[in-house]
Amino acid sequence: MILDILSWISIGVGIFFVMAGGLGLIRLPDLFTRLHAASVADTAGAGFMLLGFMLQAGLSLVTLKLVLILVFLVFTTPTAAHALAHAALLGGVRPWTRKPKDPAP
Amino acid sequence: MRHALSLFAVLYGLWLALSGHYTPFLLAIGAVCAAFAVAVAVRMDVVDREGHPIHLGYRVPLYWGWLAVQILVSSVRVSRIVLSPRPAIDPVLETVPASQRSDLGRVIFANSITLTPGTLSTSVEAHGVEVHALTRRGMEELKSGDMDRRVSAVEGEP
């Protein structure tokens, strides 16, 4: 029962972060800032959802596999994001910057 | 040799975890496959300190714990920025000094930067990592060098 509640809270938090990441993907101005938003979804979002699934699965092989998914995710997503950003810079994409006349936030 | 044995243990453990069937035939096949994969990796000369860094030892899980907290804190921060009516962003692209002595250390540092929402490594050089940050504050925090020191500590002696 307590495990169930914790698991649902964790999945709920994960959903919040995935939604925030998705919203950021639409709202932010350019490729680099959008990558920041996407990384929220695939670190905190995916992390909390997988944690919730682990609590549902209990001590079993399924949990071990969920841990492996998390490990592979943690190693591959930053590599992909780095490759994308590096390629964009090499390809001549200029990062969006705040205009000098705008007041600093 | 130590690395090859350790790699075999990891691969066979992975086989056992993912298969879930423990008949003698499948256990034997798993051992053969893991041994073959290790043999190929040894022939390719990728089983060394860099490809299979067991020398980092217990320091890695400790660092992952610290990194997980950082990821959580910056995820909340980036989420707040995204959800605010007028996103208060001020992106900057600058080079952050990196004190690691090996390529492995620099890769850990650059990947940690990218994994933390709000900062993104765009290029890895000999003595620094070029970083795109969503806010000036994120860049200042990275430049304070806390993460850099921790990664160098994980890296240990070269």
Q: Which of residues 23-82 of B touch A (CB under 8 A)?
A: 68, 71-72, 75, 78-79, 81-82
Two tokens, residue A10: 């964790």
Q: For A36, how many CA atoms within 13 A lie in the half-sphere containing its CB?
A: 31
Q: What is the pLDDT along chain B (158 residues), one digit of tens a residue?
A: 888 999 999 999 999 999 888 999 999 999 999 999 999 999 998 888 888 888 888 889 999 999 999 999 999 999 999 999 888 889 999 999 999 988 899 999 999 999 999 999 999 988 899 999 999 999 999 999 999 999 999 987 65
Answer whether A16 touches B (CB < 8 Å). yes
In chain A, where the domains are located: 2-90
d(Cα B70, Cα B88) in Å, to the nearest integer? 20
Looking at CA atoms only, how far is residue B119 from chain A in angstroms?
A: 7
Tokens of B90: 């001020």
Which of B122, B135, B142, B147 would best serve as a mutation to test chain A binding (most A beta carbons within 10 A)?
B122
Sign of CA dihedral A45, A50, A51, A52: positive
Residue B129 contacts A, CB cutoff 8 Å: no
Q: Give the separation between CA A74 and CA B3, rounded to whole angstroms.
A: 23
| Backbone angles phi and psi of B24, in degrees to 5 | -55, -40
| B47 within 8 A of B102, measured Cβ to Cβ | no
The better pLDDT of the pair A13, B2 is held by A13
Structure tokens at B136: 């000036």
Give the Å distances, CA to CA, from A42 to A45, A84, B103: 6, 15, 25
The whole-model pTM stands at 0.89
Question: Where does the pLDDT of residue A104 fall: very low under 50, low under 70, confident under 90, or very high at 90 and above?
Answer: low
Determine contact: B111 vs chain A, CB below 8 A: yes
